[in-house]
């Protein structure tokens, strides 16, 4: 049972346009959501996060939106740059036995075309 789903395995966007990456989850106990970026041969790098008490968090070109009623979050990148080309993972966490467990989606490969 995949609790965090990224239904688009890949996405291509023109440089300068908006990239929108989507993520759906099923566990209503998740209270913290994160996006990671991963380049080939490197580990995932933390990008941006959002608490379940918020519906939007912005950091420069990156904005994460959370729709709790729909159990959906999205990452917006504006404007998209060729260096943004990477695999993006969304993740969610919930308190579990005194700690936090993180569940990752399968990733979306973003390609920004120059």
Partner 1 sequence: SAVISQKPSRDICQRGTSLTIQCQVDSQVTMMFWYRQQPGQSLTLIATANQGSEATYESGFVIDKFPISRPNLTFSTLTVSNMSPEDSSIYLCSVLAGQGGNQPQHFGDGTRLSIL
Closest C-alpha among 85, 84, 89, 87 to residue 103: 89
**Per-position b or e across 46-84, b if 16+ CB within 10 A of its CB:** ebbbbebeeeebeeeebbbbbeeeebebbbbbeebeeeb
Identity of the residue, 5 or 72, whose beta carbon is nearer to partner 1 in the bound complex = 5
Q: How far is the CB of 15 from partner 1 (least distance, A)?
A: 27
DSSP for residue 88: E
Return the range that interacts with partner 1 (CB under 8 A); candidates 16-24, 56-64, 77-85, 87-95.
87-95
- DSSP 3-state assignment of 32? strand
The single residue among 1, 49, 74, 78 that binds partner 1, judged by CB under 8 A, is: 49
Q: Check residue 42 for interaction with partner 1 (CB under 8 A).
A: yes
The single residue among 8, 27, 57, 106 that binds partner 1, judged by CB under 8 A, is: 106
Q: Check residue 54 for interaction with partner 1 (CB under 8 A).
A: no
């Amino acid at each position: 049972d995949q609790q965090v789903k990224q239904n688009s395995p890949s996405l291509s966007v023109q440089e300068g346009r908006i990239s929108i990456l989507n993520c759906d989850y099923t566990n209503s106990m998740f209270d913290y959501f994160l996006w990671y970026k991963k380049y080939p041969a490197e580990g995932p790098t933390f990008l941006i996060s959002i608490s379940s008490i918020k519906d939007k968090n912005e950091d420069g070109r990156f904005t994460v939106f959370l729709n709790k009623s729909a159990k959906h979050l999205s990452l917006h990148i504006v404007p998209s740059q060729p260096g943004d080309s990477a695999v993006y993972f969304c993740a969610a966490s919930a308190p579990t036995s005194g700690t936090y467990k993180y569940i990752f989606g399968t990733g979306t490969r973003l390609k920004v075309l120059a």
